Protein backbone atom coordinates (compact mmCIF):
# COMPACT_ATOMS: atom_id res chain seq x y z
CA UNK A 1 0.00 0.00 0.00
CA UNK A 2 1.40 3.34 -0.95
CA UNK A 3 1.16 6.50 1.08
CA UNK A 4 -1.73 7.92 -0.95
CA UNK A 5 -3.87 4.85 -0.44
CA UNK A 6 -3.14 4.91 3.35
CA UNK A 7 -4.22 8.51 3.54
CA UNK A 8 -7.47 7.71 1.73
CA UNK A 9 -8.32 4.93 4.21
CA UNK A 10 -7.78 7.08 7.29
CA UNK A 11 -10.91 8.73 8.55
CA UNK A 12 -10.67 12.11 10.12
CA UNK A 13 -11.45 12.21 13.87
CA UNK A 14 -14.48 14.32 14.58
CA UNK A 15 -14.38 16.37 17.75
CA UNK A 16 -16.95 15.21 20.36
CA UNK A 17 -19.44 17.86 21.18
CA UNK A 18 -20.63 17.70 24.83
CA UNK A 19 -24.13 19.05 25.18
CA UNK A 20 -26.41 19.47 28.23
CA UNK A 21 -28.41 16.43 27.11
CA UNK A 22 -25.31 14.25 27.05
CA UNK A 23 -24.27 15.42 30.51
CA UNK A 24 -27.76 14.80 31.83
CA UNK A 25 -27.76 11.29 30.42
CA UNK A 26 -24.43 10.51 32.07
CA UNK A 27 -25.62 11.96 35.36
CA UNK A 28 -28.86 10.04 35.08
CA UNK A 29 -27.00 6.84 34.45
CA UNK A 30 -24.80 7.36 37.50
CA UNK A 31 -27.78 8.37 39.61
CA UNK A 32 -29.73 5.32 38.52
CA UNK A 33 -26.85 3.09 39.48
CA UNK A 34 -26.53 4.79 42.90
CA UNK A 35 -30.25 4.42 43.49
CA UNK A 36 -30.09 0.74 42.66
CA UNK A 37 -27.21 0.27 45.08
CA UNK A 38 -29.08 2.17 47.81
CA UNK A 39 -32.28 0.21 47.25
CA UNK A 40 -30.45 -3.10 47.33
CA UNK A 41 -28.59 -2.11 50.51
CA UNK A 42 -31.78 -0.87 52.17
CA UNK A 43 -33.72 -4.00 51.20
CA UNK A 44 -30.92 -6.23 52.47
CA UNK A 45 -30.85 -4.43 55.81
CA UNK A 46 -34.65 -4.40 56.05
CA UNK A 47 -34.90 -8.12 55.35
CA UNK A 48 -32.09 -8.88 57.81
CA UNK A 49 -34.03 -7.03 60.49
CA UNK A 50 -37.59 -7.98 59.59
CA UNK A 51 -37.03 -11.73 59.34
CA UNK A 52 -35.54 -12.09 62.87
CA UNK A 53 -38.16 -9.65 64.20
CA UNK A 54 -40.98 -11.61 62.59
CA UNK A 55 -39.48 -14.82 63.90
CA UNK A 56 -39.30 -13.38 67.39
CA UNK A 57 -42.91 -12.22 67.23
CA UNK A 58 -44.07 -15.64 66.08
CA UNK A 59 -41.83 -17.89 68.16
CA UNK A 60 -41.24 -16.03 71.42
CA UNK A 61 -43.62 -16.54 74.31
CA UNK A 62 -45.54 -13.55 75.63
CA UNK A 63 -45.61 -13.29 79.43
CA UNK A 64 -49.12 -11.81 79.41
CA UNK A 65 -52.49 -12.72 77.96
CA UNK A 66 -53.91 -9.19 77.56
CA UNK A 67 -57.65 -8.63 77.75
CA UNK A 68 -59.33 -5.84 75.77
CA UNK A 69 -60.81 -3.08 77.90
CA UNK A 70 -62.43 0.20 76.96
CA UNK A 71 -62.15 3.70 78.34
CA UNK A 72 -64.19 6.79 77.87
CA UNK A 73 -62.40 9.87 76.62
CA UNK A 74 -60.32 11.18 79.54
CA UNK A 75 -61.74 14.22 81.35
CA UNK A 76 -60.21 17.49 80.13
CA UNK A 77 -57.51 18.94 82.36
CA UNK A 78 -59.40 22.12 83.10
CA UNK A 79 -61.22 23.74 86.00
CA UNK A 80 -60.28 21.95 89.22
CA UNK A 81 -57.95 19.73 87.17
CA UNK A 82 -56.12 22.61 85.48
CA UNK A 83 -52.38 21.78 85.26
CA UNK A 84 -50.12 23.68 87.67
CA UNK A 85 -46.75 23.32 89.38
CA UNK A 86 -47.91 23.17 92.99
CA UNK A 87 -46.24 19.86 93.80
CA UNK A 88 -42.91 21.40 92.83
CA UNK A 89 -43.15 23.51 95.98
CA UNK A 90 -42.69 20.35 98.04
CA UNK A 91 -39.40 19.68 99.80
CA UNK A 92 -37.59 16.35 99.69
CA UNK A 93 -36.89 14.76 103.06
CA UNK A 94 -34.29 12.09 103.91
CA UNK A 95 -33.12 11.88 100.31
CA UNK A 96 -31.07 8.71 99.64
CA UNK A 97 -31.67 7.51 103.21
CA UNK A 98 -34.65 5.33 102.31
CA UNK A 99 -36.11 3.83 99.13
CA UNK A 100 -39.73 3.44 98.12
CA UNK A 101 -41.66 4.80 101.14
CA UNK A 102 -44.98 3.64 99.65
CA UNK A 103 -47.30 4.61 102.50
CA UNK A 104 -47.00 6.90 105.53
CA UNK A 105 -48.72 6.95 108.93
CA UNK A 106 -48.18 9.02 112.04
CA UNK A 107 -48.57 8.73 115.80
CA UNK A 108 -48.39 12.32 116.95
CA UNK A 109 -45.45 13.85 115.11
CA UNK A 110 -43.67 10.52 114.68
CA UNK A 111 -43.87 9.14 111.15
CA UNK A 112 -43.83 5.50 110.10
CA UNK A 113 -43.31 3.99 106.66
CA UNK A 114 -42.34 0.76 104.94
CA UNK A 115 -39.57 0.64 102.34
CA UNK A 116 -38.45 -1.40 99.35
CA UNK A 117 -35.95 -3.41 101.42
CA UNK A 118 -38.66 -4.82 103.67
CA UNK A 119 -38.09 -2.51 106.63
CA UNK A 120 -40.61 -0.69 108.82
CA UNK A 121 -39.09 2.68 109.69
CA UNK A 122 -39.75 5.13 112.48
CA UNK A 123 -38.90 8.77 111.77
CA UNK A 124 -38.64 11.03 114.79
CA UNK A 125 -36.83 14.35 115.24
CA UNK A 126 -35.14 13.94 111.88
CA UNK A 127 -33.76 10.50 112.73
CA UNK A 128 -34.61 7.24 110.98
CA UNK A 129 -34.80 4.02 112.99
CA UNK A 130 -35.65 0.49 111.82
CA UNK A 131 -38.22 -1.01 114.17
CA UNK A 132 -39.10 -4.20 112.28
CA UNK A 133 -38.39 -6.31 109.23
CA UNK A 134 -41.11 -8.53 107.79
CA UNK A 135 -39.02 -10.76 105.52
CA UNK A 136 -35.42 -11.86 105.60
CA UNK A 137 -32.26 -10.77 103.78
CA UNK A 138 -30.09 -10.21 101.94
CA UNK A 139 -31.99 -7.28 100.44
CA UNK A 140 -29.73 -5.63 97.91
CA UNK A 141 -31.77 -5.47 94.72
CA UNK A 142 -35.38 -5.24 93.56
CA UNK A 143 -35.34 -8.94 92.76
CA UNK A 144 -34.89 -9.71 96.46
CA UNK A 145 -38.26 -8.32 97.50
CA UNK A 146 -39.96 -11.73 97.24
CA UNK A 147 -37.93 -12.87 100.25
CA UNK A 148 -37.26 -9.48 101.86
CA UNK A 149 -40.94 -8.56 101.83
CA UNK A 150 -42.42 -5.34 100.49
CA UNK A 151 -44.50 -3.38 103.03
CA UNK A 152 -47.08 -1.26 101.22
CA UNK A 153 -50.13 0.10 103.06
CA UNK A 154 -49.58 1.15 106.68
CA UNK A 155 -52.14 2.32 109.27
CA UNK A 156 -52.32 3.17 112.96
CA UNK A 157 -54.75 1.18 115.09
CA UNK A 158 -56.72 2.29 118.18
CA UNK A 159 -53.98 1.11 120.56
CA UNK A 160 -51.21 2.91 118.63
CA UNK A 161 -50.01 -0.27 116.99
CA UNK A 162 -49.24 -0.38 113.29
CA UNK A 163 -51.15 -2.48 110.80
CA UNK A 164 -49.11 -3.23 107.69
CA UNK A 165 -49.93 -4.90 104.37
CA UNK A 166 -46.94 -6.71 102.94
CA UNK A 167 -47.20 -7.61 99.27
CA UNK A 168 -45.66 -11.07 99.77
CA UNK A 169 -46.30 -12.05 103.37
CA UNK A 170 -49.78 -10.78 104.30
CA UNK A 171 -51.24 -8.55 107.03
CA UNK A 172 -49.25 -7.74 110.19
CA UNK A 173 -49.66 -5.90 113.46
CA UNK A 174 -46.48 -4.25 114.76
CA UNK A 175 -45.86 -2.82 118.21
CA UNK A 176 -43.61 0.24 117.69
CA UNK A 177 -42.31 0.39 121.26
CA UNK A 178 -40.97 -3.16 121.28
CA UNK A 179 -40.70 -4.02 117.59
CA UNK A 180 -42.84 -7.12 118.15
CA UNK A 181 -44.43 -8.41 114.96
CA UNK A 182 -47.61 -10.50 114.76
CA UNK A 183 -48.90 -11.92 111.50
CA UNK A 184 -52.68 -11.70 111.24
CA UNK A 185 -53.26 -12.96 107.70
CA UNK A 186 -50.76 -15.17 105.87
CA UNK A 187 -50.47 -14.89 102.11
CA UNK A 188 -49.59 -18.60 102.11
CA UNK A 189 -53.19 -19.53 102.96
CA UNK A 190 -55.60 -19.35 99.97
CA UNK A 191 -58.83 -17.44 100.53
CA UNK A 192 -61.86 -19.01 98.89
CA UNK A 193 -59.61 -21.07 96.66
CA UNK A 194 -57.37 -18.24 95.45
CA UNK A 195 -53.88 -17.20 96.52
CA UNK A 196 -53.06 -13.85 98.06
CA UNK A 197 -50.31 -13.01 95.59
CA UNK A 198 -50.24 -9.22 95.85
CA UNK A 199 -51.51 -7.85 99.18
CA UNK A 200 -51.59 -4.10 98.72
CA UNK A 201 -53.36 -1.58 100.96
CA UNK A 202 -55.56 -1.70 104.05
CA UNK A 203 -57.91 0.33 106.23
CA UNK A 204 -58.77 -0.29 109.89
CA UNK A 205 -61.97 0.58 111.72
CA UNK A 206 -61.69 2.94 114.69
CA UNK A 207 -62.36 0.13 117.17
CA UNK A 208 -59.78 -2.10 115.47
CA UNK A 209 -62.29 -4.90 114.89
CA UNK A 210 -62.26 -4.99 111.09
CA UNK A 211 -59.45 -4.66 108.57
CA UNK A 212 -60.34 -4.13 104.93
CA UNK A 213 -57.56 -4.90 102.48
CA UNK A 214 -56.91 -5.43 98.78
CA UNK A 215 -55.26 -8.33 97.03
CA UNK A 216 -54.36 -6.85 93.65
CA UNK A 217 -54.05 -10.22 91.91
CA UNK A 218 -54.04 -13.94 92.60
CA UNK A 219 -51.72 -14.40 89.60
CA UNK A 220 -49.20 -11.57 89.59
CA UNK A 221 -46.78 -10.43 92.29
CA UNK A 222 -45.96 -6.83 93.09
CA UNK A 223 -42.68 -6.99 91.18
CA UNK A 224 -44.74 -7.67 88.04
CA UNK A 225 -47.26 -4.85 88.53
CA UNK A 226 -46.60 -3.54 85.02
CA UNK A 227 -47.61 -6.91 83.57
CA UNK A 228 -50.72 -6.89 85.75
CA UNK A 229 -51.76 -3.48 84.40
CA UNK A 230 -51.04 -4.33 80.78
CA UNK A 231 -52.77 -7.69 80.93
CA UNK A 232 -55.79 -6.01 82.57
CA UNK A 233 -56.26 -9.10 84.73
CA UNK A 234 -59.59 -9.08 86.58
CA UNK A 235 -58.68 -11.35 89.49
CA UNK A 236 -58.23 -8.69 92.18
CA UNK A 237 -60.31 -8.64 95.38
CA UNK A 238 -61.40 -6.58 98.36
CA UNK A 239 -61.33 -8.62 101.57
CA UNK A 240 -62.34 -8.22 105.20
CA UNK A 241 -60.47 -9.60 108.21
CA UNK A 242 -62.18 -9.84 111.59
CA UNK A 243 -59.57 -9.48 114.34
CA UNK A 244 -61.84 -11.22 116.86
CA UNK A 245 -63.07 -14.25 114.90
CA UNK A 246 -59.86 -14.39 112.79
CA UNK A 247 -62.00 -14.96 109.70
CA UNK A 248 -61.28 -13.60 106.24
CA UNK A 249 -64.00 -13.16 103.65
CA UNK A 250 -64.16 -11.75 100.15
CA UNK A 251 -66.32 -8.66 99.72
CA UNK A 252 -65.65 -7.86 96.06
CA UNK A 253 -64.05 -9.87 93.25
CA UNK A 254 -63.36 -9.43 89.57
CA UNK A 255 -61.43 -6.20 90.10
CA UNK A 256 -58.66 -5.02 87.78
CA UNK A 257 -55.72 -4.11 90.02
CA UNK A 258 -57.54 -3.02 93.20
CA UNK A 259 -55.12 -0.78 95.03
CA UNK A 260 -55.72 1.90 97.66
CA UNK A 261 -58.39 1.40 100.36
CA UNK A 262 -60.11 4.01 102.53
CA UNK A 263 -63.01 3.89 104.98
CA UNK A 264 -65.45 6.80 104.91
CA UNK A 265 -65.44 9.08 107.99
CA UNK A 266 -68.72 7.47 109.09
CA UNK A 267 -67.29 3.99 108.35
CA UNK A 268 -70.38 3.07 106.35
CA UNK A 269 -68.48 2.33 103.13
CA UNK A 270 -65.04 1.49 101.81
CA UNK A 271 -63.48 3.11 98.75
CA UNK A 272 -61.27 0.98 96.51
CA UNK A 273 -59.01 2.37 93.78
CA UNK A 274 -59.25 0.18 90.69
CA UNK A 275 -56.01 1.29 89.10
CA UNK A 276 -56.17 -0.34 85.67
CA UNK A 277 -59.64 1.09 85.02
CA UNK A 278 -58.83 4.63 86.27
CA UNK A 279 -61.73 4.67 88.72
CA UNK A 280 -62.73 4.29 92.38
CA UNK A 281 -65.35 1.76 93.49
CA UNK A 282 -67.45 1.92 96.67
CA UNK A 283 -68.55 -1.00 98.85
CA UNK A 284 -71.04 -0.48 101.69
CA UNK A 285 -70.08 -2.20 104.95
CA UNK A 286 -72.90 -0.95 107.20
CA UNK A 287 -76.31 0.68 107.09
CA UNK A 288 -79.21 0.06 104.74
CA UNK A 289 -76.89 -0.36 101.76
CA UNK A 290 -74.68 -2.96 103.46
CA UNK A 291 -73.34 -5.46 100.94
CA UNK A 292 -74.09 -3.18 98.01
CA UNK A 293 -71.58 -1.54 95.73
CA UNK A 294 -71.45 1.27 93.19
CA UNK A 295 -69.09 3.61 91.39
CA UNK A 296 -67.70 6.51 93.42
CA UNK A 297 -65.58 8.15 90.70
CA UNK A 298 -65.09 6.88 87.16
CA UNK A 299 -63.01 7.97 84.20
CA UNK A 300 -60.36 9.69 86.30
CA UNK A 301 -57.56 11.82 84.78
CA UNK A 302 -54.95 9.29 85.89
CA UNK A 303 -54.47 5.87 87.44
CA UNK A 304 -55.27 6.04 91.17
CA UNK A 305 -53.05 4.53 93.83
CA UNK A 306 -53.63 5.08 97.56
CA UNK A 307 -56.61 6.99 98.97
CA UNK A 308 -56.43 8.87 102.27
CA UNK A 309 -58.72 11.21 104.21
CA UNK A 310 -58.37 14.97 103.86
CA UNK A 311 -59.00 17.41 106.71
CA UNK A 312 -61.94 18.86 104.79
CA UNK A 313 -63.86 15.59 104.99
CA UNK A 314 -62.92 14.48 101.50
CA UNK A 315 -60.19 12.28 100.10
CA UNK A 316 -56.68 12.64 98.74
CA UNK A 317 -55.88 10.41 95.76
CA UNK A 318 -52.33 10.02 94.43
CA UNK A 319 -51.49 9.20 90.80
CA UNK A 320 -48.06 8.69 89.21
CA UNK A 321 -49.34 8.44 85.63
CA UNK A 322 -52.04 10.47 83.93
CA UNK A 323 -54.39 10.27 80.95
CA UNK A 324 -53.66 13.60 79.33
CA UNK A 325 -56.51 15.43 77.58
CA UNK A 326 -55.47 17.17 75.46
CA UNK A 327 -52.55 14.84 74.88
CA UNK A 328 -51.74 11.16 74.40
CA UNK A 329 -52.31 8.30 76.83
CA UNK A 330 -50.47 5.08 76.02
CA UNK A 331 -52.81 3.04 78.23
CA UNK A 332 -55.90 4.39 76.49
CA UNK A 333 -54.35 3.77 73.08
CA UNK A 334 -53.43 0.16 73.88
CA UNK A 335 -56.59 -0.68 75.84
CA UNK A 336 -58.45 -2.26 72.90
CA UNK A 337 -55.33 -3.51 71.07
CA UNK A 338 -54.16 -6.63 72.92
CA UNK A 339 -52.21 -7.79 69.86
CA UNK A 340 -49.93 -4.74 70.16
CA UNK A 341 -49.43 -5.46 73.85
CA UNK A 342 -48.37 -9.01 72.98
CA UNK A 343 -45.78 -7.77 70.50
CA UNK A 344 -44.44 -5.20 72.97
CA UNK A 345 -43.94 -7.71 75.77
CA UNK A 346 -42.43 -10.32 73.48
CA UNK A 347 -39.72 -7.85 72.57
CA UNK A 348 -39.31 -5.64 75.65
CA UNK A 349 -39.00 -6.17 79.39
CA UNK A 350 -41.42 -4.46 81.74
CA UNK A 351 -38.56 -2.29 83.01
CA UNK A 352 -37.99 -1.02 79.47
CA UNK A 353 -41.71 -0.41 78.94
CA UNK A 354 -41.85 1.62 82.16
CA UNK A 355 -39.30 4.03 80.70
CA UNK A 356 -41.83 5.03 78.03
CA UNK A 357 -44.42 6.07 80.64
CA UNK A 358 -44.17 9.86 81.07
CA UNK A 359 -43.36 11.05 84.57
CA UNK A 360 -46.30 13.17 85.67
CA UNK A 361 -47.27 13.34 89.34
CA UNK A 362 -50.82 14.27 90.25
CA UNK A 363 -52.72 14.50 93.53
CA UNK A 364 -56.44 15.26 93.51
CA UNK A 365 -58.66 16.13 96.44
CA UNK A 366 -62.17 14.71 96.15
CA UNK A 367 -65.21 15.90 98.04
CA UNK A 368 -67.21 13.53 100.21
CA UNK A 369 -69.41 12.86 97.17
CA UNK A 370 -66.55 12.26 94.73
CA UNK A 371 -66.37 15.59 92.89
CA UNK A 372 -63.01 17.25 92.24
CA UNK A 373 -62.13 20.02 94.69
CA UNK A 374 -58.59 20.75 93.53
CA UNK A 375 -55.53 19.19 92.00
CA UNK A 376 -51.79 19.46 92.61
CA UNK A 377 -49.44 18.75 89.70
CA UNK A 378 -45.78 18.19 88.97
CA UNK A 379 -45.50 17.86 85.19
CA UNK A 380 -42.46 15.74 84.30
CA UNK A 381 -42.12 14.69 87.96
CA UNK A 382 -39.23 17.07 88.60
CA UNK A 383 -39.62 17.18 92.40
CA UNK A 384 -42.29 14.66 93.43
CA UNK A 385 -41.78 11.48 91.40
CA UNK A 386 -43.57 8.11 91.32
CA UNK A 387 -45.98 9.21 94.04
CA UNK A 388 -48.20 6.56 95.61
CA UNK A 389 -49.90 8.35 98.51
CA UNK A 390 -50.76 11.76 99.94
CA UNK A 391 -50.97 11.59 103.74
CA UNK A 392 -52.16 14.77 105.47
CA UNK A 393 -50.78 15.68 108.88
CA UNK A 394 -50.52 18.99 110.71
CA UNK A 395 -51.15 21.20 107.69
CA UNK A 396 -48.77 19.30 105.41
CA UNK A 397 -49.08 16.62 102.76
CA UNK A 398 -46.51 13.86 103.07
CA UNK A 399 -46.07 12.22 99.68
CA UNK A 400 -45.15 8.55 99.61
CA UNK A 401 -43.53 6.89 96.61
CA UNK A 402 -43.27 3.30 95.43
CA UNK A 403 -39.85 3.98 93.93
CA UNK A 404 -38.22 7.28 94.88
CA UNK A 405 -35.45 7.50 97.51
CA UNK A 406 -37.16 10.22 99.57
CA UNK A 407 -40.40 11.50 101.10
CA UNK A 408 -41.83 14.79 99.90
CA UNK A 409 -43.52 17.27 102.24
CA UNK A 410 -45.81 20.01 100.95
CA UNK A 411 -47.09 22.88 103.10
CA UNK A 412 -50.77 23.19 102.20
CA UNK A 413 -50.72 26.88 103.09
CA UNK A 414 -48.45 27.42 100.08
CA UNK A 415 -50.94 25.95 97.62
Please write the tens of the pLDDT for every residue from 211-242.
999 999 999 999 999 999 999 999 999 999 99
Rounded to the nearest 10°, the torsion over CA 339, 281, 321, 64 is: -30
Cβ-contact 176, 107 below 8 angstroms: yes
Sequence-distant (6+) residues with CB within 8 A of 351 are none
Cα 372 from Cα 376, distance rounded (Å):
11
Torsion of CA 357, 233, 362, 163, to 10 degrees: -130
- The mean pLDDT value for 30-51 works out to 64
pLDDT at res. 32: 67
Give me the mean pLDDT over the 159-181 stretch: 97
Q: With CA atoms as reference, report the closest residue to 232 among 26, 25, 70.
A: 70
Local confidence band at 50 (pLDDT 50, 70, 90 cut-offs): low
| Mean pLDDT of the 93-105 span | 97
Check pLDDT > 60 for residue 14.
no
Share of the chain above pLDDT 90, in %: 80
Q: Which of 303, 242, 316 is nearest to 275 (CA)?
A: 303
Statement: residue 47 has pLDDT above 90:
no
Contact present, 177 and 185 (Cβ < 8 Å)? no
CB contact at 8 A, 277 and 50: no
Task: Report the range of poorest mean pLDDT among 38-42, 142-146, 318-322.
Answer: 38-42
C-alpha–C-alpha distance, residues 301 and 278, integer Å: 7
- Mean pLDDT, range 63-86, rounded to an integer: 96
pTM: 0.87
Looking at residue 7, its pLDDT comes to 44
The better pLDDT of the pair 11, 105 is held by 105
Confidence of residue 156 (pLDDT cuts 50, 70, 90): very high
Instruction: Output the pLDDT for position 60.
Output: 85
Tens digits of residue pLDDT in 324-355: 999 999 899 999 999 999 999 999 999 999 88
Give yes or no for residue 59 having a pLDDT over 90.
Answer: no
Give the sheet arrangement for strand 293-297, strand by strand.
Answer: 258-263, 269-274, 279-284, 293-297
Pairing of strands 199-204, 162-166: unpaired
Please say if the pLDDT value at position 21 is more than 60.
Answer: no
pLDDT at position 53: 55
Average pLDDT, the chain: 90
Residue 376 has pLDDT above 80, yes or no: yes
Distance CA 346, CA 28 (A): 46
CB-CB contact of 109 with 395 (8 Å): no
Tens digit of pLDDT for each residue in 261-288?
999 999 999 999 999 999 999 999 999 9
Dist. CA 30–CA 17, nearest whole Å: 20
Neighbours of 131 (CB within 10 A): 18
Q: Looking at the DSSP assignment, which residues form a beta bridge with residue 148? A: none
Is 42 or 320 the better-scoring residue by pLDDT?
320
Amino acid sequence: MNEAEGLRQRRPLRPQVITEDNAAQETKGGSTYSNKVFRMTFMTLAVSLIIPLFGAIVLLDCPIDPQPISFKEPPPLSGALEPNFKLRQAERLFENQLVGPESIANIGDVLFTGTADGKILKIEDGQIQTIARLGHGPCGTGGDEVTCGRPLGIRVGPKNTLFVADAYYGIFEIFPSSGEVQRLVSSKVPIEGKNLSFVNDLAVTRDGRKIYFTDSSSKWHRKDFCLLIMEATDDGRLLEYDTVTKEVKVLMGGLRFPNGVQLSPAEDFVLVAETTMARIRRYYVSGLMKGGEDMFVENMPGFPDNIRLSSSGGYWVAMSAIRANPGFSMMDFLSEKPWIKRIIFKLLSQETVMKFVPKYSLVVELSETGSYRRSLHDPDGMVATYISEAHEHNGHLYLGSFRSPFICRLNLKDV
